[in-house]
Amino acid sequence: MSSGGITADEGLSREKAKTVPHQSGRIALGYQIMATLACTDAERLLRAYLQAIRHSNRATQDYARVLKTGPRRLVKAKAKIAGDVTDRLRDAREAFQVHVKRHRC
């Protein structure tokens, strides 16, 4: 096991590792082990936030790639996608923060 994470060498695919409970009581998220939260709603919102971060990174990379290499006709579409994903990221972060403040999770 490398740095506390689950690797593909241990027989877990990337998809399975997202939801597999680890023997330590923590939950595997991607290849990283994430401590479970006492509140299931907070855990669900945190997972949504982390997923939004991943989507935002991917959209930003795609947009930067199109700006650099083209085709130019895709720039406007990729910019819109990046903006939409950024809005979803902001909403996911706000939902998690509001829940944590209200419930003191």
Apex CA 84: angle with CA 79 and CA 85, to 5°? 100
Q: How confident is the model at residue 37 (pLDDT cuts 50, 70, 90)?
A: confident
Whether 61 shows a pLDDT value over 90: the answer reads yes
> What digits encode the pLDDT tens for the residues 83-98?
999 999 999 999 999 9
Q: How confident is the model at residue 24 (pLDDT cuts 50, 70, 90)?
A: low
Q: How far apart are CA 16 and CA 28, in angstroms?
A: 9
Q: How far apart are CA 35 and CA 50, in angstroms?
A: 14
Half-sphere exposure at residue 49, Cβ-oriented, CA atoms within 13 angstroms: 17
Q: Are 84 and 51 in contact (CB under 8 A)?
A: no
